[in-house]
Structure 1
Amino acid sequence: MNRVQREAAARRIMERTPPPVPPDLYPEVVRRGGRMLRHRKIAVRLTWLLLFAATVALTVWALTAHPWVEPPSETTPPLTGW
């Protein structure tokens, strides 16, 4: 097949009428699409809620534990009786 024949074949394929769509397909697609959107919205909200809860937990832990303060040294005994 040369280029002209391929182009003509492609045009014939594109100009054909599309196959008929079952009449009950559209409502089913709309229902499934709506359900997918609701699930995605719930997943996004739960992700943000989890991120917020983790941030609050980290902040509370940091404020109570003071991880930036060096712990007192306990390797040498206290010097008493000098």
Structure 2
Amino acid sequence: MNRVQREAAARRIMDQRPPRVPPDLHGEVLRRGGRLLRRRRTARRVLWLLLCAAAVAFIWWAAVVRPWAQPPSTTTPPIVGW
């Protein structure tokens, strides 16, 4: 199909009458769109909750374990009887 044929086919399609839209389509679209928005909002809230829980768990772990502190040396025995 060359350019002229494609243009003619496009003109024929555009000159046709648009298909009829079902009368209940608007309500269906509103229902599905609302459901999609609720799902997204719920997913976003769950992800924020998980992020906050992970941050609290990390802070608690760091406060208990103190990974930045050096562990006590166990290679030298304590000096006794000086």
State the TM-score, normalizing by the size of structure 2: 0.81
Structure 1, 63-72 or 36-45: larger mean CA deviation: 63-72
The alignment-based identity, stated in percent, is: 66
Specify the alignment match of 1:71 in structure 2: 71
Distance (whole Å) between structure 2 residues aligned to residue 67 and residue 6 of structure 1: 69
Equivalenced residues, count: 82
State the TM-score, normalizing by the size of structure 1: 0.81
Specify the alignment match of 1:30 in structure 2: 30
**Unaligned stretches of 5+ residues in structure 1:** none
SS of structure 1 residue aligned to 2:19: coil
**Unaligned stretches of 5+ residues in structure 2:** none
After superposition, the CA RMSD in angstroms is 1.8
